[in-house]
Amino acid sequence: MAVPSRGFTLLEVMVVLVLVGILTSFALLSIGGGPHERLAEEARRLAGLMQLHQQEAILSGQPHGIQFSRTGYTVLLQNEKGAWSPPAVADTLIQHHLPEDIVLELWVEGQPVAIKKPGRLPQVLLLASGEATEFVIVFGFSAERGADPPLYRVSGDALGRLAVSAVQR
């Protein structure tokens, strides 16, 4: 009479380990990066958008502007009469809303700019010559997190050069 074997085969154990590994990787991906990574992603997104529209302004010969609000930013174009308005084509690359817990602060030419209500004019200009308004934008969280909350900044000089960096305190 044969004695039934007890326990698991090596194949069964390996299948379970692979499944646990897959589930763990999905859990890590859904959590995403920490607060530093979220702010860095927003800063890189803004810098990429600004580089794109800076190049578009140069190629089209039409100035572009960025209008900032507490909740995000919008790209504006200047028409022949000098009025600023969003581009006619609805596109995801002309407007971005920040996540609810992330806010931004803006300095233009060394001066802080109040951005509670968006106006009709852009605060940052991207000119057809490649020049731009000198600015600094700092991304942070709306509710302070601890004694040293993370901050990221995007800065641009008058020659249109952009830089993204973590703010060191």
Span 79-108, pLDDT tens digits: 888 888 887 765 546 788 888 888 888 999
- Domain limits of the chain? 35-166
Q: Which two tokens stand for residue 69?
A: 């609000």
| Close Cβ partners of 159 (under 8 Å, ≥ 6 residues apart) | 130, 131, 132
In CATH, the number for domain 35-166 is: 3.55.40.10
pLDDT digits (tens, 9 = 90+) for 1-53: 666 767 778 888 888 888 888 877 767 656 656 777 888 898 999 999 899 88
CA distances 31 to 25, 27, 34, 145, Å, are: 10, 6, 8, 18
3-state secondary structure of 133: coil
